[in-house]
Every structure is written in structure tokens, then in C-alpha cells.
Amino acid sequence: MELKNLSNNKQKSNYTVHKIVLVICLTITLSTVVMLKITAALVKERSVSKFITIESRLEPFGKVNMPGTVKSLAAINSIEKSETIAKVYTGSDVYNMACTACHTAGIAGSPKLTDTLNWEPRITQGIDTLRAHAINGYTGLTGYMPPKGGRLDLSDTDINNAIDYMLAQIQQ
């Protein structure tokens, strides 16, 4: 009698495991279907084709004007007529933007702003030589000066303002 009860319990437990697996599978399947329907609705709602056609997405974002065309001549004339507005920085501004990177720590053999002994031989060469070396760059026995301190976007006037500022600081 006891053996029969044992076998019935085993069958019941197998049935329970099957039920649990079936419920889990159904839950996963149902969740997947619901998520797919929600995703499809969102894709349809946010569809790119509502806003942009394929042709407009494939066309180039810029146009090339060939020499001799009316458009390119008009563009050239408008550029020539427009005034170029360039900001001229003060010597202090340029020093803080470009020069301080090397001349504060003495990097690449550059004389520190406060080191008058290293500046003296450079100053004795003359202001024109200082300006030419700062604008065009210079490689000397003691170091390297990149053109415009590595800031090629600065104008010659900006560099000259920085040189004047640095000389004024050295002579103080």
C-alpha cells in the first residue's frame, strides 16, 4: 500500500513541474507578443517616412559650384564685398591663450617670463628678430619656438601684441 502512495506522489510532482514549465513558457510567449506589438506601434508612430522621403535623405548635403558658373561668380563677389571682421586680441589675452603653455614652465627651451637672464640675448638681437622668430618659428641652440606659438589662427598683430606684453613684463 505504501508503494502505491509513493508512486502517486511521484506522478503528482512530475505533473506539477510540467505545469510550472508550461506557465513559464506561456508567460514568456505572451510577453514577447505584447512587446512586439508595442514596438510595431511605436515604429509606425515614429516612422521616418512621415517626415523625410527617401530621395531627400539620399541627396547630397552640399553643392559644388564650378568655375565660370553664375552661382560661383555671385558667391565670389559677395565674399569680396563682405567685410572681414577679425578680433584683435590684447597681448595679455594672447599670452594666456598660447604663450603661457611654454613660457611659464620653460618647455622646449623657452625662456620663462620671469627669467631675465635667458631673455637678454634674445632681446639684444632686436625687436624685429623677436617678432620674426615668434611669427615664423625658430629652432636655436637652446630650444624651439613653433610658428605663432602653435596657434596659427592668431594674426601677426596678435603675436606682436603678445611680444610687447611679454617685454613689458620682463622689464618690470
Angle subtended at Cα 141 by Cα 140 and Cα 143, rounded to the nearest 5 degrees: 65
164 and 112 inside one domain: yes
CATH of the domain at 152: 1.10.760.10
If one compares 23 and 141, the residue with the highest pLDDT of the two is 23
User: What pLDDT sits at residue 36?
Assistant: 92
Answer yes or no: are the C-beta atoms of 65 and 72 closer than 8 Å: yes
Q: Looking at the structure, do residues 95 and 164 belong to the same domain, yes or no?
A: yes
Residue-range definition of the domain harbouring residue 138: 91-170
- For the chain, the 3-state helix, strand and coil shares in percent, each to the nearest 5, are 70, 0, 30
Reported in sequence order, the residue ranges of 5-155 that DSSP labels E, i.e. its strands, are 138-139, 144-145
pLDDT in tens, 86-132: 678 898 899 998 888 888 888 888 888 888 888 888 889 999 998 99
pLDDT band at 8 (very low <50, low <70, confident <90, very high): low
- pLDDT of 84 > 80? The answer is no
Question: For a pLDDT cut of 70, what percent of the chain falls above it?
Answer: 69
Assigned domain for 85 exists:
no
Residues 160 and 96 in one domain: yes
In a domain, 65, yes or no: no
Is position 34 within any domain?
Answer: yes
In a domain, 67, yes or no: no
| pLDDT of the residue at 68 | 62
Same domain, 96 and 152: yes
Q: Are residues 97 and 163 in the same domain?
A: yes
Tell me the pTM: 0.51
Asked if the structure places residue 25 within a domain, the reply is yes
Query: Which residue would you say has higher pLDDT here, 144 or 75?
Result: 144
Q: Is residue 66 part of a domain?
A: no
Compute the distance between CA of residue 149 and CA of residue 162 in angstroms, rounded to an integer.
11
The four Cα atoms 134, 140, 143, 144 give a dihedral, to 10 degrees, of 40
pLDDT band at 1 (very low <50, low <70, confident <90, very high): very low
Say if 137 falls within a structural domain. yes
Total of domains in the chain: 2
Higher pLDDT pick, 30 / 71: 30
pLDDT above 90: percentage of residues in the chain: 20
